[in-house]
Amino acid sequence: MTQFSMIDPFGRAIDYLRVSVTDRCDFRCVYCMAEDMTFLPKRDLLSLEELDRLCTVFIEKGVRRLRLTGGEPLVRKNIMHLVRQLSRHLKSGALQELTLTSNGSQLERFAAELADCGVRRINVSIDTLDPDKFRVITRWGNLDKVMRGIEAAEAAGLHVKLNAVALKGFNEDELPEMLRWAHGRGMDMTVIETMPMGEIDADRTDQYLPLSLLRAQLEQQFTLTDIPFKTGGPARYVEIAETGGRLGFITPMTHNFCESCNRVRITCTGMLYMCLGQDDSADLRAALRASEGNELLSTAIDEAIGRKPKGHDFIIDRRTNRPSVSRHMSVTGG
Ligand code: SAM
């Protein structure tokens, strides 16, 4: 097996793959999607077997951690078949970690099986603990169901991390309470700056809360200490003395973290995006379907990695009132 054959033009080794297994979701979070979304026709999707083949080639080329995302990964039909298939790479030791990012709505159903497949941790996205506000932000979500999902995950021994997008005027006052709640349950938490991806019904300038500001607000009631803790992602962590837990900051807007980017993303149609915030992509579905062997696919991946850009240039301000990239986060997976 080739070790870390994917090195980009800036010397970054690519060992992390995020796979959006569906662009569909059972929520319509207001900063993520428009209410009336047009989803891809099912015939354009890679089959679960094709997704498995694609992931396997990436693993052979040096991917060590793989995250399934979406859309909502757990609404893809027969998704556990793919998880079960991919788990063979955990057993063989080729893959160090298989994880998911989920809205938690289907976790009650799948948590035990995920754990059985070797999934050890999972990120659950929740932006508020208030059931009414939860319904407003997700448009369609039910917080109770998500809570039952988290309980099922904990009962199955999965380590849950809470992800919250920091939204001005929506949850900024509630984030300290969410932090206490998460840490009280032994969960880490990460806050994320909203990114200008895809047309939504709202104005992003109204939603954008720089995390530098949030950090200053948190410092009025908590003692934050920077720690070198890493989960392989772009979050920079602090420890909170009062709760004894960790809080991660993902700051694509106020602090560009591209210099240490170790990841690429594939969509459910087999498009490879080398950067979340740029439009360049490579069509791996064509390479996948052109032959039964994996040589063409491997060459297409190498060519794409050879063009991985230095970084994104997200901007949110009133003059630039357009998304930096036209695709929604649900296409490439957050
Ligand atoms: N459905 C899953 C979930 O809810 O986590 C996985 C996909 S979702 C697109 C992944 C993450 O991206 C979620 O935490 C979501 O809040 C976040 N997200 C979506 N749109 C975003 C945006 N424009 N800026 C920042 N984060 C965003």
Nearest atom in ligand 1 to 195's CA: 24
Write out the DSSP string of 191-256: EEE---BS--SS-HHHHB--HHHHHHHHTTTS-EEEE----SSS-EEEEETTTTEEEEEE-TTTS-
Ligand 1 contact, 30 CB (< 6 A): no
Q: Which residue has the tokens 């047309």?
A: 199
Tens of pLDDT, residue by residue over 2-60, are: 455 899 999 999 999 999 999 999 999 999 999 999 999 988 999 999 999 999 999 99
Q: What is the pLDDT of residue 235?
A: 93
Cα gap 18→29, rounded to integer Å: 20
Tens of pLDDT, residue by residue over 261-299, are: 999 999 999 999 999 989 999 999 999 999 999 999 999
Tens of pLDDT, residue by residue over 159-185, are: 999 999 999 999 999 999 999 999 999
Q: What is the pLDDT of residue 241?
A: 98
Q: What are phi and psi of 208, to 5 degrees?
A: -70, 125
Nearest atom in ligand 1 to 103's CA: 4
CB atoms within 10 A of CB 228: 6
Ligand 1 contact, 171 CB (< 6 A): no
For atom 11 of ligand 1, which residue has the closest CA?
A: 334
Ligand 1 contact, 70 CB (< 6 A): yes
For atom 1 of ligand 1, which residue has the closest CA?
A: 72
**From ligand 1's centre to the CA of 330, what distance in Å?**
7
For a pocket test of ligand 1, which of 99, 101, 267 has the largest count of ligand atoms closer than 8 A to its C-beta? 101
Tens of pLDDT, residue by residue over 101-145, are: 999 999 999 999 999 999 999 999 999 999 999 999 999 999 999
**From ligand 1's centre to the CA of 216, what distance in Å?**
24
